[in-house]
Structure formats: C-alpha cells, structure tokens
C-alpha cells in the first residue's frame, strides 16, 4: 500500500546515526579499524554493530576481552574523529518544525559522541537525549525508548520512532510506539517487522503538517509505504 499517511503524535523520537546524521562512512572506517585490530571479519563486525552499543558489540565478538577497555578504545576514537558528519537529507527541516518538548534523540552511542556528531553536522542537540550511558539494556530492548517517553512526559502510544536499524526498530515497537523506518531499498524490513510501521527512503518524505502544544501532525509523503498495520 502506498500514498500519503497522516499520524498525529505528541513526540517524535529519532535515532541518530543514519537518521539525523550521516555518519555512516566515519562509523564504517572506525569499525574496520576495530575489526582489523582483533582480526575479525569486517562484514561480520558491521552487521553486528548496527544499532548496538559498543559494550554489546565487544561482548558478542570478543568475549575474552575486557569490555570496559574495548568501549574506552572505541569511544576514544569516536570522540576525536568527526570529519564527514553531515545532516541526513530532510533532517534539519524536520526538527526545525518541532518544539524542544516534542522530540528526542535515542542513540546507542555515548552522550559526548552523539553531541559531537550533531555539532559537526550543524544540527541542534535536543533537550532530551537518551544514550548508551543512560540505560542498562540497549536496543533491541525497549528501555531506551521507554526512558525517552518518560523524560518527555508522553505516553508511549503518542510517540513515533524514526529508525534505520532493525535492532532500533524492534526496540521502538517493543516499547508500544509507532515506527517510521528510513530503509531505502532494503527489502528485508517488511518481513522483519510487525506492527504500526511505515517505511520511507528519506526524512524528506516526512513533513510536519501541523503542530500545537499537545500534538504533532506528521504527513508521510507519497513515497511512504505502509508495511504492517500503518493506518492512516
């Protein structure tokens, strides 16, 4: 099903990398460096890392290593390297239409890295941000998105999550929220998800059609595709 879809919400919760900030080439280079350090397959590291915290990546692929040391190593690299970060298409215009109490960033990265990437991309940091430092269980667990909703004082049913990673998408749906996936031509998403989901290829397909103190009307454009129970 395709066409225009209108969702009314009170808050929009954004993943960071690949949704607001195009940092994927930078992240890819850092992951390659870490993979080579541990003599791991680069493709395996990339697949495992997408949407996960560094601690979870290290535990999955180098369980014999000290996880705190691995996190410190990777975050040390990330804190000093921001070249190439830029806003994803449509990101600046979309968040500019939202009041500070109507949006948050929910990322698997650390707070300093997230703020550095937003700054490097020329995007504002939101008042509410949930990072790897703030949760016990990262995505795909719903905890990060539940914490963001609580911080904003918004019921989960009134939140819309925007994600580009399957683990983050699963977290948003498990939290009881509606989901927009920025997936491009990734054909695996419809089979992997069930719930109130709309797929788009860019934030440019999403507009704020109206807003007030207690609502945000999102218009998902003609290229948006409902893949599972998206509704109107």
Q: CA-CA distance, 103 to 91, in Å (whole number)?
A: 12
Based on the residue annotation, tell me whether 214 is a catalytic residue of this protein: no
Radius of gyration of the chain (CA): 17
Q: What angle do CA 124, 126, 131 make, to 5 degrees?
A: 115
15, 83, 141, 201: the catalytic one is 15
Q: What is the C-alpha separation between 23 and 146, in angstroms, rounded?
A: 25
103 SS3 class:
strand
Find where tokens 């290229």 sit.
223
Give me the count of residues in the chain: 232
Helices within 65-203 (DSSP H only): 67-80, 91-96, 111-121, 143-152, 166-174, 189-192
- The answer to whether residue 155 is catalytic is no
State the Cα–Cα distance between residues 191 and 47, nearest whole angstrom.
18
What does the DSSP assignment read for 219-232?
EE-TT-EEEES---
C-alpha to C-alpha distance for 11 and 8, rounded to whole angstroms: 9
Would you name the residues annotated as active-site residues? Answer: 15, 17
């Amino acid at each position: 099903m395709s066409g225009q879809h209108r969702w009314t919400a009170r808050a929009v919760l954004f993943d960071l990398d690949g949704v607001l900030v195009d940092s994927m080439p930078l992240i890819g280079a850092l992951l390659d460096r870490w993979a080579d350090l541990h003599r791991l397959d680069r493709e395996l590291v990339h697949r495992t890392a997408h949407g996960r915290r560094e601690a979870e990546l290290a535990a999955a692929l180098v369980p014999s290593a000290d996880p705190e040391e691995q996190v410190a190593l990777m975050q040390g690299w990330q804190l000093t390297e921001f070249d190439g970060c830029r806003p994803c298409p449509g990101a600046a215009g979309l968040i500019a239409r939202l009041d500070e109490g109507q949006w948050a960033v929910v990322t698997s990265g650390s707070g300093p890295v997230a703020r550095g990437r937003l700054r490097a991309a020329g995007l504002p940091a939101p008042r509410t941000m949930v990072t790897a430092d703030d949760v016990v269980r990262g995505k795909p667990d719903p905890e990060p998105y539940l914490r963001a909703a609580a911080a904003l004082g918004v019921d989960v049913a009134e939140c819309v999550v925007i994600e580009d990673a399957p683990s983050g998408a699963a977290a948003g749906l498990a939290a009881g929220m509606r989901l927009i996936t920025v997936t491009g031509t990734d054909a695996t998403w419809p089979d992997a998800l069930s719930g109130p989901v709309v797929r788009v290829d860019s934030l440019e397909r999403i507009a704020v059609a109206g807003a007030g103190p207690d609502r945000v009307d999102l218009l998902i454009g003609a290229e948006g595709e409902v893949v599972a129970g998206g509704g109107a």
